[in-house]
Structure formats: structure tokens, C-alpha cells
Amino acid sequence: MSERTLVLIKPDGVQRGLTGEILRRIEAKGYTIAELTMTTATEQQLAAHYAEHEGKPFYRPLVDFMLSGPLVAAVVEGNRVIEGFRSLAGSTEPTTAAPGTIRGDLGRDWGEQVQKNLVHGSDSPESAAREIEIWFG
């Protein structure tokens, strides 16, 4: 049974020229990139995407970071893709993310107010459906 998930290559990944490598890893894992766009996020998209974090101390720095440059949004499909991509991405903390993962191999702590960890992946089928609607309509 095929699933769909949203993957965002965050502004730090785009700015560092890692878009191709991240997409290569997704395809190498055997997943299909069904939709792909480079865009600049809007306040409205980010408010909807991060609604559960509104009011938390990291919310505004996170939104500012996500507004800092272009990002790549992708709809990725495959069997158990939600779980599989999150495993491929690695821990949200790049310093301790396992080698072989996107964050473990390509990420690091830059000592800034917000964690720049290259990618986002939906955490459930419900989140995936909601997030795909935000980014792809």
C-alpha cells in the first residue's frame, strides 16, 4: 500500500546546494517524487504548517528561518514512506543524528537560535494530507 508524505528541503539545504543530494537519497531509497516545486514560503503557509507550535519560544525564530530563503517542497510516494523518510532524515538534532542519515551526514549545529536541520518530513498520514494541501493546494 503506497503512502504519500510531504518533504521540505529547508532554506539551509537549498542555500548550501544540497537539494540534489537530498533528492538523490530519496530516490535511491526507492521512493517516487510525485510533485516538486521550489518556492518561497509565506507567513500564512508557515502559520498553517507550524500551527501546533504557535506560542512556543522557538516558533518565531523557526518561522523567520523558514522565510529566510527559497525551499523545495516535494510530495514523495512509496510503501511506508512516512516512516522511511523520517528514518532517512535522521534525528532532528544534527550533531547526534546517525551517520548515513541526511542530517547525520550533511547537518551540523551552527550555534544559532533555531536548529537548521535541512529537511522536514510529515509524521503521520493525517499530517501528510494536511501539509500537502498547504504546500500544493
**CA–CA separation, 104 vs 89, rounded Å?**
8
SS3 of 27, please? helix
Q: What is the DSSP letter of 58?
A: T
Exactly one of 73, 120, 121, 128 is catalytic; name it. Answer: 120
Q: How many residues does the chain have?
A: 137
- Burial string for 39-53 (b: 16+ CB within 10 Å, else e) reads eebeeebbeebbeee
Do residues 132 and 118 lie in contact, with contact meaning Cβ atoms separated by under 8 Å? no
Catalytic annotation present for 120: yes
What positions carry a catalytic annotation?
120
